[in-house]
Structure 1
Amino acid sequence: MASHPLKSLLQLQLASDTSSILHLSFVLSTLSEDFLLPSPHLQKWTSRVTSLIRSKDVGARWAGICIAYRTSTLSKSTMTEFAQSWAGLALSILTKPEPLPLLNASIRYLRHVLSAAIDVPELQRQLATPTVPKFSQALVSIVEKAADYELKALALGALKDMVILYPSLNRASSSSITAMCHQILNGSAPQRTNNLLLHNTARLYAVLHYTGGKVGAANLWKKSVDETLQCLWAALMGLRTTFPANNNNNNNNNPPSSGPAYDDPVLNIALNLDRLQCSAAALRSLLRTTIQRPVQVPIGRIMEFCLFLLSCTAKEEKEGHVDAAVRALEVAIVPELLSSACDLLCCLAKTVQHRLTPYVSRLVVMITYHLEQKHRPERHCALLQCIQVLLSNSLPPSSELSSTRLVKNILLSLMPLLPTQSDAYSGETGSGQSKKGRKRRRDYESDEVFKLSKDVICSSIAEGNAILCALDALQVAMRGAEMQSAIRSLACRAMLSSSLSLTAMPRSSLSQDVHLHSLVHAKVNRMCLELARGTTSAMSRSLSLVLRSTVTEGNGHTMQTKLQLQQEVDLLLHPRSPPLVRPLPHVEALSLFRAEESNEELAARTSLALATAYDANIMDVVDPIMVTPATEPTPHPVPTHLPMSTPEITAPGPNSILTPVPASQKVTSLITKAPTKTSADILPAISSRQPAKSQLPPSSSQMELMVEPRFIPVVVDDEEEEMPDIDMESDSDG
């Protein structure tokens, strides 16, 4: 007959203190619920655990606390029976200067036992009532005296749980806990407050109102919010000493806890910046916490502070004498103020949601201004996340101008996804081009001729996150917002072009992280699908997008993905479902072809440095003499290539090539009036202008060039042959 598992562990692994420390990991992984069922060996097991906790060896005490924690987790009956004795031993360990592993194990054990005792009235009366106040005071002492940040964070987390579970038992120690939180949230310099310590302190500070009971909790929460706002204003004013003063009533109030001041401006600025970030983290935790009764959130005061942060720029300067060193330091931290404003706005928008709608229009204008400036990818990503959260949790802005300006700036962040003209040239090399076309193209080649490799689009993680944030922001910005039809059409074309270019783009060329390509491609396809679901006619042309969205990469199908795909297919199979109320454009309103592009969309596309396939072909056939300006040209960014399919249209007659067409008749003649002669009729007339060795039909780029209504270049022969006379009265069919 096999022996009991507990008997084997007691005889072998736990035979001595040294073997208990050596085989602790095996004991903890082997122990299970079946081992702790009532048996004669269970009493020996608990006696051995108690002896290990009482041992003089530090390692044995640590092993005993770990085994007691594992035993209490697996068997609640054993925990209830021996919790009072084991908890007393663990509490005595916290009052002594013990090693870090032993302190961590004791805190975890006491937090588990006291949390599990909340639903056992007898255990709560015998264990929790006398132990919780002593445990809270021990945790406060550890936070104030310990040097290890992980131990402090663990103690703060356990203290937060005790305040939530036993608010009345912690009411007497609430003043000491509040003072400890103020000391940490007051900041430090020159070294910043540890992030782990900061977030755990902010979470503890946000639940201290529980100690006031159901009646006083709301007042304590409101008091904490007011004190935090005062600290924010005081820290911000300390960072804007060289800028024009702001007449704000909140600036005259002193913070509840004034920290040390330094004579060195570097330390003062570092201290105020850390105070600002700590107070902002505390305010975000206060907004996310739960309150037993309804309270009034001071949205106006919080928004006043956020708007002031967003209005902080490096261009203003106070009149009079200004210390150059202080000025340089305060200008350098302006991006930090912008990041704090974005984080605070995101939290506020998720908390109050549509109640933030009166401020959305002003916020969109200010954030759009910052998007137009040059920032690091991390700051740019924070701005895009803020826009996405604001528009997702509130109504869209009523101003058409601000929405249009916002979408244009978001599109600029997505330009790296589109292929450049050099990529288009490399893809078309050797594909049916004449020798003369390749010769003219070499006139425009530069250092890229000697470049054998291609740079990665997203060279860092922050740049990849910025692309993902821009896609999310663009999707929300185009959902129900009023904007110019030309910009909406241009955004749809850019998304379709991105979907095409991502399909042919290698994963490694987008980012070193190959999973980023799948995430970006999936987001682009979902956005294209959403833009195509406007009407029944639009959905009937979107079957390919729906089928492409069903192909997933990476982790495979999930239940959420299957449900979403089912809804998308149902929209195609059941066109009589209630129509969508979103003001999405019809597919006829989108200029998917060059001939349908309006002047407004052309101007918007030119301002964004976007080029079509036609523009790329123009560079191949136009002589450099015709496009070179008289003055020195200014450097332009490399325009991005938007691949578009050109509809099959007929070419104009020879008269339209030799005679310029008025600007008012160029577009209408292309759409409403068809030419009388086909392209086959004018081939002899065009080929007669070429040398004898090039009597082949013109390429597609040359044909597209000849039918372009806006610009008709004249092809000049290299050999300067004299043009033969053309008999206009002769029959071309003859």
Structure 2
Amino acid sequence: MSFQLTSSAKNTQLLGNVLSLYMSNDNLIHTNLSFVIDIIVNHRLFNETREPSEDLASVYRKWTVRLNSLLQSKNVAARWCGITLVRVTCENSHTLLIANAKTWSAQLLGFVGKAEPLIIHQEAIKALSFLFSYTVDKPELQREVATPNLQRYNQLLLQLGRKQDLLPIVLSALTANVKCFPSTSRHISDQVLQLCLSCLDGSRDLDEKTIKEANKCVASLYNAGGKANMAEVWRDSLLRLIGSVHVCLDRLFDTIDEESQEAELPKAYPFLPVSHDYVEAFPVLLKRIQLVQECISTFLTTSTTIAVGVPVVHLVDLICRIYNVFEGSLMRDYKDKTEFFTLMMCLPALHLSTSKMFTSLLYCSGQEMMRYSKLFSRILLRLLSEHKNKRTLKSSAYKLISLCLEKCGYAFGENIYKQLTIYILQDLLVVQHKAASIVNTSGQQKKSHKKRRTEVTNSDSLSNKLISASSTDVQVAALDTLATLLNVFGFAMENGQRSSVDGTVLSRLIQVIQPSNMTDEEIILVKAGLYQCLIASVSHPIETQASILPHASRLFAAGVNDQSHELQTLCKKGLNVCDLITHSRLPPIQRVLPKVSPAVVVTAQELAEEESEVEEEEEEVEEEELMEEKPVEETKEIKSVEITPVSLPTIVKPVTLPPVQKEVVFQVIEEVVEETKPVEEAKLVEENKTVAKVTEETKLVEEVKSTETIDISVSTAETTVAPVTNVSDDEDLDLDMPMIDMTGPDSDEEDDE
């Protein structure tokens, strides 16, 4: 028979089983602790239910009684389990925490103040830190639990901080108290700072977790400075850390001929003095510089509750001072050479820790570092040149360059791309070595021309070429930097360098025989970087250079079938990019049109208007052709109009008239034409057979009136019409004038005389 319990009944049943089956024996409870915690968390046994139940409340009371009995047990393991279960209960039940916070905090504080084993102290500090931080936004609970116990709790933490094993948990608890209760922690801020500085001194080796907690604690102490001075305290703390590094460098660079410092160095924290002997002092100083630089990085990368000012100038000066000391630096006069060479041994570690601090500054400041683009480019190029045979430092320099390209952008790329391209191509170069034949060089070799047995004559080592490449870390870092360079500055590179870069990437991807000094996993990493560079190159082309798009498409298509899932994903991404670029209707890259042919936007309405205009022009041309084919019919229709004939008197003798009288003749002709207009219009109205025919006749009559008025008025008796010619209007007036003898009898008599 199956049945389903309600939520409260289920929690009651499960918690009762846990109490009776797994928590009844103090000696065995530690073996079942992880199992009990899993049940509480997975089934949410302390989840607040809407339907209150007396049975569930009864089980909760039994649970509380059992935890209190475990806290008072004489068995250390049972006490440890009780403290752990108290913390888990407080994390999962608000009701039980409110009801028992005062009692449990007093009991846990007693464990911190007593001489207990390490595990008891660690678990009690964790539980108290959660209890006190839970009361931050609950004033009533804070007055009952946190306020009466915090001062004693902080003093106990400082006492436990003397134990190196408890340092991480103690520093973490102090950091939480300073953030949550700054006014209560203000009187212990100096003691907390001294505890943190003792961890950053460099005189003892501490684990990484302790160093991180110490850095976080120092970075949080500005909260105890008061609301009005929090920003100033934060900046002053950071400047003191910078000054502490400068003090260490003064002793470390004692044998170096440095440039004089113009600006005054900031004050330093009071670290313990080091030995005068450089053999003992240098390891401590180097360790101290590395730890303080990590603390500076924590300051720059930790969020703050207020706006603070970062001393960028002081940080850049510190970075430049460290990077300006290298193996080629000059030594001061009258200094110990052994100390100088000992310093040279410390430089790689010093440069590496400075690179980490430099990275934090770039992440913190971002584009504000653009004004230092030229300075950073010179420094980083020199680092690449100096550390060309040091794998770790060269990879670090490449990563710094890539980050500078991302943060500073085009300005940094313009200053560095030429030399950077040369270094990258050198690191991506694959060298082929021809194996030399092995010859017996023994002094007892005879003059016989026979082959010696000791000579290798048919071995594979004589024919196979050994292929080697740079370290995988260096190649991957160089490829990442190259991809970033192409994304930021690829479109502005010179044609020669861009061709070299594209050719190198293509040749490495096409290469069949892989370097012999690389494993399969390393080959996949390098190929992934090459595909990233190819995608960046295709996405940022140069207009004046031939595109590598066809080659890239083939390589991506072939790489889709690769065994590595990572390479398959990259090749699919590359194919999508190539498809977008070659898409006929969706080009992702907008090319700039030349100024000679600007872009013209044509709307649909304009296209329709242009089509209508073309159709009208075609109709007009057809009409003109029809008119030229039927000239005789049109003339007959014109002559059908009755025109009153005008006869001019014939003069026997020609009379020579002055040129002015020619205008009178044209006036007479125009008057005759005007008289004929009403007669022509009346006749046309009578013969109006069709609308189309009338319109054609009226157009034709108007043309005749305007161009051939003289022919209509004067030579009406003629039956033929002059052929159509391409002569201008002025020439027509002269050619079509009738031959009239204007000479009179007087002129003839004068000629006879």
Give the TM-score normalised by structure 2: 0.66
Is residue 475–residue 527 contact of structure 1 (8 Å, CA) maintained in 2?
A: yes
Give the direction of change, closer, same or farther, for the CA distance of 1:221–1:548 in structure 2 (3 Å limit): farther
Whole-angstrom CA distance in 2 between matches of 1:269 and 1:446: 57
> Sequence identity, in percent?
21
Whole-angstrom CA distance in 2 between matches of 1:376 and 1:163: 43
Residue 444 of structure 1 deviates from its aligned partner by 14
1:513-532 aligned within 5 A: 514-532=520-538
Whole-angstrom CA distance in 1 between matches of 2:225 and 2:271: 25
Whole-angstrom CA distance in 1 between matches of 2:269 and 2:395: 34
Q: Does 1:196 align with 2:209?
A: yes
Is residue 228–residue 283 contact of structure 1 (8 Å, CA) maintained in 2?
A: yes
Amino acid at match of 1:348: L
Name the structure 2 match of 1:449. Answer: 461
Whole-angstrom CA distance in 2 between matches of 1:581 and 1:346: 37
Q: Does 1:304 align with 2:317?
A: yes
Name the structure 2 match of 1:379. Answer: 393
Amino acid at match of 1:106: A
Name the structure 2 match of 1:30. Answer: 39
* Cα deviation code 1:177-220 (max 9, x no counterpart): 122222322321xx545433222211211121122343211110
Is residue 193–residue 274 contact of structure 1 (8 Å, CA) maintained in 2?
A: no
Larger relative contact order (Cα-Cα within 8 Å, sequence gap ≥ 6) = 1
Q: For 2:269, what is the secondary structure of its paired residue?
A: coil
Q: For 1:262, what is the secondary structure of its paired residue?
A: coil
Amino acid at match of 1:488: R
2:186 equivalent among 171, 174, 185: 171
Q: For 2:17, what is the secondary structure of its paired residue?
A: helix
Give the direction of change, closer, same or farther, for the CA distance of 1:331–1:46 in structure 2 (3 Å limit): same
Q: For 2:488, what is the secondary structure of its paired residue?
A: coil
Name the structure 1 match of 2:487. Answer: 479
Whole-angstrom CA distance in 1 between matches of 2:428 and 2:104: 60
Whole-angstrom CA distance in 2 between matches of 1:243 and 1:368: 22
Q: Does 1:15 align with 2:24?
A: yes
Is residue 230–residue 251 contact of structure 1 (8 Å, CA) maintained in 2?
A: no
Whole-angstrom CA distance in 1 between matches of 2:321 and 2:558: 46
Name the structure 1 match of 2:241. Answer: 228
Q: For 1:36, what is the secondary structure of its paired residue?
A: coil
Q: Does 1:273 align with 2:281?
A: no
Q: Does 1:68 align with 2:89?
A: no
2:169 equivalent among 154, 176, 181: 154
2:476 equivalent among 463, 468, 472: 468
Whole-angstrom CA distance in 2 between matches of 1:78 and 1:180: 36
Name the structure 2 match of 1:500. Answer: 510
Is residue 95–residue 138 contact of structure 1 (8 Å, CA) maintained in 2?
A: yes
Is residue 9–residue 27 contact of structure 1 (8 Å, CA) maintained in 2?
A: yes
Is residue 495–residue 527 contact of structure 1 (8 Å, CA) maintained in 2?
A: yes
1:325 equivalent among 338, 345, 349: 338
Whole-angstrom CA distance in 2 between matches of 1:277 and 1:211: 27
Whole-angstrom CA distance in 2 between matches of 1:183 and 1:454: 54
Give the direction of change, closer, same or farther, for the CA distance of 1:135–1:524 in structure 2 (3 Å limit): farther
Give the direction of change, closer, same or farther, for the CA distance of 1:293–1:510 in structure 2 (3 Å limit): same
Whole-angstrom CA distance in 2 between matches of 1:559 and 1:84: 57
Give the direction of change, closer, same or farther, for the CA distance of 1:528–1:575 in structure 2 (3 Å limit): farther
Give the direction of change, closer, same or farther, for the CA distance of 1:555–1:400 in structure 2 (3 Å limit): closer
Whole-angstrom CA distance in 1 between matches of 2:33 and 2:107: 20
Q: Does 1:105 align with 2:123?
A: yes
Name the structure 2 match of 1:290. Answer: 303
Whole-angstrom CA distance in 1 between matches of 2:236 and 2:32: 52
Is residue 156–residue 201 contact of structure 1 (8 Å, CA) maintained in 2?
A: yes
Whole-angstrom CA distance in 2 between matches of 1:213 and 1:580: 56
Q: Does 1:128 align with 2:143?
A: no
Name the structure 1 match of 2:410. Answer: 396
Residue 496 of structure 1 deviates from its aligned partner by 1.4
Is residue 343–residue 386 contact of structure 1 (8 Å, CA) maintained in 2?
A: no
Name the structure 1 match of 2:59. Answer: 41
Name the structure 1 match of 2:156. Answer: 138
Whole-angstrom CA distance in 2 between matches of 1:544 and 1:140: 67
Name the structure 2 match of 1:260. Answer: 273
CA-atom RMSD, angstroms?
3.6
Residue 455 of structure 1 deviates from its aligned partner by 9.0
Is residue 186–residue 257 contact of structure 1 (8 Å, CA) maintained in 2?
A: no
Name the structure 2 match of 1:77. Answer: 95
Q: Does 1:53 align with 2:68?
A: no
Question: Number of residues paired by the alignment?
Answer: 548
Q: Does 1:410 align with 2:424?
A: yes
Whole-angstrom CA distance in 1 between matches of 2:469 and 2:39: 50
Is residue 373–residue 411 contact of structure 2 (8 Å, CA) maintained in 1?
A: yes
Residue 307 of structure 1 deviates from its aligned partner by 1.2
Q: For 1:59, what is the secondary structure of its paired residue?
A: helix
Residue 571 of structure 1 deviates from its aligned partner by 4.3
* Cα deviation code 1:21-55 (max 9, x no counterpart): 23222222232344335442121111111111122
Amino acid at match of 1:510: M
- Which runs of no fewer than 5 residues in structure 2 stay unpaired? 4-9, 48-55, 436-454, 593-753
Is residue 30–residue 78 contact of structure 2 (8 Å, CA) maintained in 1?
A: yes
Whole-angstrom CA distance in 2 between matches of 1:135 and 1:410: 57
1:516-595 aligned within 5 A: 516-534=522-540, 538=547, 541=550, 542-547=552-557, 569-573=579-583, 576-577=586-587, 579=589
Residue 358 of structure 1 deviates from its aligned partner by 1.7
Is residue 403–residue 477 contact of structure 1 (8 Å, CA) maintained in 2?
A: yes
Amino acid at match of 1:496: L
Whole-angstrom CA distance in 2 between matches of 1:568 and 1:211: 57
Give the direction of change, closer, same or farther, for the CA distance of 1:555–1:206 in structure 2 (3 Å limit): farther
Is residue 356–residue 394 contact of structure 1 (8 Å, CA) maintained in 2?
A: yes
Give the direction of change, closer, same or farther, for the CA distance of 1:187–1:575 in structure 2 (3 Å limit): farther
Larger radius of gyration: 2
Is residue 381–residue 419 contact of structure 2 (8 Å, CA) maintained in 1?
A: yes
Is residue 398–residue 478 contact of structure 2 (8 Å, CA) maintained in 1?
A: yes
Q: Does 1:243 align with 2:260?
A: no
Whole-angstrom CA distance in 2 between matches of 1:206 and 1:254: 17
Residue 5 of structure 1 deviates from its aligned partner by 2.4
Amino acid at match of 1:523: G
Whole-angstrom CA distance in 2 between matches of 1:359 and 1:172: 41
Residue 327 of structure 1 deviates from its aligned partner by 1.9
1:694-705 aligned within 5 A: none
Q: Does 1:491 align with 2:504?
A: no
Give the direction of change, closer, same or farther, for the CA distance of 1:392–1:399 in structure 2 (3 Å limit): closer
Name the structure 1 match of 2:669. Answer: none
Amino acid at match of 1:529: I
Is residue 223–residue 230 contact of structure 2 (8 Å, CA) maintained in 1?
A: yes
Is residue 381–residue 469 contact of structure 1 (8 Å, CA) maintained in 2?
A: yes
Is residue 217–residue 291 contact of structure 1 (8 Å, CA) maintained in 2?
A: no
Q: For 1:244, what is the secondary structure of its paired residue?
A: coil
* Cα deviation code 1:107-144 (max 9, x no counterpart): 2222233333334443333223333443333333222x
Q: For 1:215, what is the secondary structure of its paired residue?
A: coil
